A and B are shown apart, each in its own frame.
Chain A
Amino acid sequence: MVLDFKCPQCGGGMEYDSELGKLQCRSCGFEQAVEDAPEIEEDDSVSVEPFDGGSIPDEAEFSNETEEKETSLYGEEQEFFCNSCGAAIVTEPEVSATHCPYCGSAVAFGERLQGKLAPDKVIPFTVSKEEAKAGFRKWAKNGLLTPKDFMTEKRLGEITGIYVPFWLYDMHVNAEADCSCTKKRSFRRGDYIIHETKHYHVYRRANLNYKKVPADASVKLDDTMMDLLEPYDYRRLRKFEPGYLAGFQAEKYGVDADGLLMRIKNRVSEYAQSYIKSTIKGYSTTTYNSQNIMEEKQQEYYTLLPVWLLKYEYKGESKIYAMNGQTGKVVGKPPISGARVAKWISILYGGSFAVLTLLSYFMV
């Protein structure tokens, strides 16, 4: 089922506007609240209680040696038909919203946004496309070693606003540590220096709650890059409505909530350890006798978070730069310009040389 966002007034295509926080018609400017945009219609298939497999005996037997089946994590590639122009839209299997490549109108694919795939929450874009371009340009300009012609208009024209699937976890952590600590000081008594070491036995137990720790569930995007985009401001976290996707790309998750839990457990475990460490103060040395960290998942939310992506080929390598679609933070390693490095070396060398020389010359 293909969702489109038609203007109730003129029938033109509508898109989400980050400044208005509403849908706006591209032809007549009509504004519409996100909640009023078309909803995903419920599946009209009959709902049934699942069979209890245990009570049904085997009726046939097969060998265990089955040949490996090609199972796609993303499900089958599927064809959709644009409501506006009728063209067949072939998309990559993880895409849940995009533009029709023929008529440009915003479309969302209901099948990839409902049931288990229905997002709980979304943070809408607050950085518009123009602001994103300006942001990338400024970022490239601020890089002292970044080539001048790095962020060209042509490259910037290709930025994509994409809702990236994330799992947000509420985690509860019980942490416990047992340490041997010392306080050391030295002072003089006559001709001797006295070294005094006081020994302590230290214990800490903490109860820690971490709310909405994010992990990106997209298979294609680099995890560390997505981690660097954090933090998002959760005060703008909204209940998911398909209307937010109008005019942007969106993806469905490629890894389910349990698949990312280990990553989050490791992350909050590190947080808890550094918390415990921060409570052991005033000692010269600390040795851990034992440390116990128990992480427990309380809840998870399937959430779409806004990201501006800029991809391009550079010397045969495909490079990706990302911008937090809410805060404007840019992530990625810009190329280093040899000419600029040389320039800075000569400036620094010449400058400090001149300063030292002048100092030694004029201060006689």
Chain B
Amino acid sequence: MKKMRLYRWMSWVLAFGALMTWIIPAENAMAETEWDEVVVESAPVILTPGDAYEEPEVSGEETEDVFATEHTQVEQILEDNLISTGITLNGEQRLYDFFGKFNEEEQEEISSWIIDREEEGGISIRVFVAGMAVEDEKYFLEECADALCDNGYAKEDLAIMLLNLDEDNRGVCIQGYGICETKLNDDRIEYILDDIIAWFLEDDYVYGVKLFAEEAAYYVTAEEEKESVGSVGIVIPADRSPQVPYYKDNSFKGKLNRMPWPFLVIAPMAVAGLGIFLMIQSNGSKKTTNNKTYMENETSGLTAQRDDYIRTSISRTYSPRSSGTSGGSRSGGRSSGGGGRSGGGRSHSGGSRRF
């Protein structure tokens, strides 16, 4: 009688599993071709004004310190420019130059350029110029993005760049929000950095900023056949443009969509197996005493202890920071680990580079 019930359950499970394995591959076959990986091996920079640049050595600070940073400098910049309350951020401005790098004429040129690119891409593009520590860059942009979007000064689909002109920390940091998080994913941000860094190194800041806006809009609208961006006269090399229908989507959704069907069948098996294992494990009784149960606290304890330091031994292993590939396709490795989540809960892609 009991056996009968067991078999009935088992056959239900098998039937359900078989049905699902039939349905799922069909659903996924579509997704799989559509979401195939694109790994662009090399990306020659055709507009490089200078030689391949060397990544400056970052001072050898211990890693722990980075996590302890409190971003006081950023808070100061935000306060000085009243960004935290959204006061200096308004609908018209595209370039926020807190560093005084660009004159009025240049600012106007850049802003109107960006407005045109925004229209092309259907996104918001903002550029900040300021000076701060490297560790603060990511946080600064997250705060700005929150302030812009919260106050309705920019769309949630936002490409945002920081030009850090602090003497010791010169660099660029780019983040993509909303649709830009996927369209302007970490890989693509690296390509943009490859291109624009060269111009900053040549001190042509206006062109560098314009190129950022240009490429951001390009990638957001990138389609299969699109090969070049006209306005600035840049030709995007053929091997850079997406050859396969789409790009690699690194977001959670994207990963889920690439979930292979055997995984869908096997993972639940593991779940069920683990669940039953845990149930059988907990079938029975647990010990409810420990080494403290019978100890009399008032009369028990340490009567002597020593912790004598003897010596320190040190060894080191060589582990270069940058990938430094020859041939100079990429000017440097990724220096800051791409995406994250802002204080306002907006997740984003990202990348940065020193120059």
The residues of A with any CB-CB pair to B shorter than 8 Å are: 143-146, 181, 187-213, 227-228, 230-231, 268, 270-272, 274-275, 279, 329-334, 336-339, 341-346, 348-353, 356-357, 359-361, 363-364
Contact call B63/A188, Cβ cutoff below 8 A: yes
Report the Cα distance A212→B320, complex, angstroms.
62
Q: Does B68 have its Cβ within 8 Å of any Cβ on chain A?
A: no
Query: Of A196, A329, A339, which contacts B2 at CB under 8 A?
Result: A339
The residues of B with any CB-CB pair to A shorter than 8 Å are: 2-3, 5-6, 9-10, 12-13, 16-17, 20, 24, 27-28, 31, 57, 60, 62-64, 253, 256-257, 259, 264-265, 267-269, 271-272, 275-276, 279-280, 283-289, 291, 293-296, 299-321
Q: Which of B17, B304, B305 has the most CB of A within 10 A?
A: B305
Query: Of B20, B63, B300, B306, which contacts A203 at CB under 8 A?
Result: B306
Contact call B256/A191, Cβ cutoff below 8 A: no
Nearest B residue to A364 by beta-carbon distance?
Answer: B257
Q: Which of A143, A146, A274, A364 has the most CB of B within 10 A?
A: A364
Query: Of A202, A208, A357, which contacts B264 at CB under 8 A?
Result: A357
If the complex has contacts A228-B287, A349-B272, are A193 and B305 also in contact, measured as CB distance less than 8 A? no
Nearest B residue to A324 by beta-carbon distance?
Answer: B288
Report the Cα distance A339→B3, complex, angstroms.
8
Contact call A199/B295, Cβ cutoff below 8 A: no
Report the Cα distance A227→B271, complex, angstroms.
33
Contact call B291/A275, Cβ cutoff below 8 A: yes
Contact call A330/B259, Cβ cutoff below 8 A: no
If the complex has contacts A211-B294, A339-B6, A342-B9, are A206 and B301 also in contact, measured as CB distance less than 8 A? yes
Report the Cα distance A59→B87, complex, angstroms.
118
Nearest B residue to A201 by beta-carbon distance?
Answer: B308
Q: Which secondary structure dominates chain B's binding surface?
A: mixed
Nearest B residue to A177 by beta-carbon distance?
Answer: B305
24 residue pairs bridging A and B, Cβ less than 8 Å apart: A195-B316, A196-B312, A196-B313, A197-B314, A198-B309, A199-B309, A204-B304, A204-B305, A205-B305, A209-B295, A210-B300, A211-B295, A230-B289, A231-B288, A231-B293, A336-B283, A344-B275, A345-B276, A346-B13, A348-B275, A348-B276, A352-B268, A353-B20, A357-B20
Nearest B residue to A321 by beta-carbon distance?
Answer: B285
Report the Cα distance A209→B17, complex, angstroms.
59
Contact call A198/B312, Cβ cutoff below 8 A: yes
If the complex has contacts A196-B312, A360-B257, are A352 and B272 also in contact, measured as CB distance less than 8 A? yes
Chain A min CB distance to B26 (Å): 12
Contact call A192/B257, Cβ cutoff below 8 A: no
* A190 contacts across to B, CB distance below 8 A: 57, 60, 321
Contact call A230/B293, Cβ cutoff below 8 A: yes
Contact call A195/B62, Cβ cutoff below 8 A: no
* B314 contacts across to A, CB distance below 8 A: 194-197
* B253 contacts across to A, CB distance below 8 A: 363-364
* A271 contacts across to B, CB distance below 8 A: 291, 294-295
**4 A-B pairs with the lowest CB-CB distances in the bound complex, closest first:** A342-B9, A271-B291, A348-B272, A189-B60
Contact call A206/B302, Cβ cutoff below 8 A: yes
Contact call B267/A143, Cβ cutoff below 8 A: no
Query: Of B3, B16, B321, which contacts A191 at CB under 8 A?
Result: B321
Report the Cα distance A346→B303, complex, angstroms.
57
Contact call A192/B319, Cβ cutoff below 8 A: yes
Q: Which of A194, A196, A212, A353 has the most CB of B within 10 A?
A: A353
* A357 contacts across to B, CB distance below 8 A: 20, 24, 264
If the complex has contacts A211-B296, A336-B283, are A202 and B318 also in contact, measured as CB distance less than 8 A? no
Contact call B306/A341, Cβ cutoff below 8 A: no
Contact call A199/B2, Cβ cutoff below 8 A: no
Contact call A195/B315, Cβ cutoff below 8 A: yes
Contact call B288/A344, Cβ cutoff below 8 A: no
Q: Which of B267, B285, B296 has the most CB of A within 10 A?
A: B285
Report the Cα distance A351→B275, complex, angstroms.
12
Query: Of B31, B60, B268, B295, which contacts A188 at CB under 8 A?
Result: B60
Chain B min CB distance to A50 (Å): 37
Q: Which of B9, B31, B257 has the most CB of A within 10 A?
A: B9
Chain B min CB distance to A353 (Å): 4
Nearest A residue to B287 by beta-carbon distance?
Answer: A228
Q: Which of B28, B299, B307 has the most CB of A within 10 A?
A: B307
Contact call B301/A360, Cβ cutoff below 8 A: no
Chain A min CB distance to B274 (Å): 8
Contact call A199/B310, Cβ cutoff below 8 A: yes
Report the Cα distance A161→B239, complex, angstroms.
84
* A144 contacts across to B, CB distance below 8 A: 279
Contact call A213/B294, Cβ cutoff below 8 A: yes
Contact call A360/B300, Cβ cutoff below 8 A: no
Contact call A210/B62, Cβ cutoff below 8 A: no
If the complex has contacts A352-B268, A352-B271, are A143 and B283 also in contact, measured as CB distance less than 8 A? yes
Chain B min CB distance to A141 (Å): 14
Contact call A209/B299, Cβ cutoff below 8 A: yes
Nearest A residue to B304 by beta-carbon distance?
Answer: A205
Report the Cα distance A116→B159, complex, angstroms.
89
Contact call B306/A210, Cβ cutoff below 8 A: no
Nearest A residue to B295 by beta-carbon distance?
Answer: A210
Chain A min CB distance to B318 (Å): 6
* A336 contacts across to B, CB distance below 8 A: 280, 283
Report the Cα distance A338→B3, complex, angstroms.
8
Query: Of B271, B304, B317, which contacts A193 at CB under 8 A?
Result: B317
Report the Cα distance A274→B295, complex, angstroms.
12
Report the Cα distance A341→B314, complex, angstroms.
55
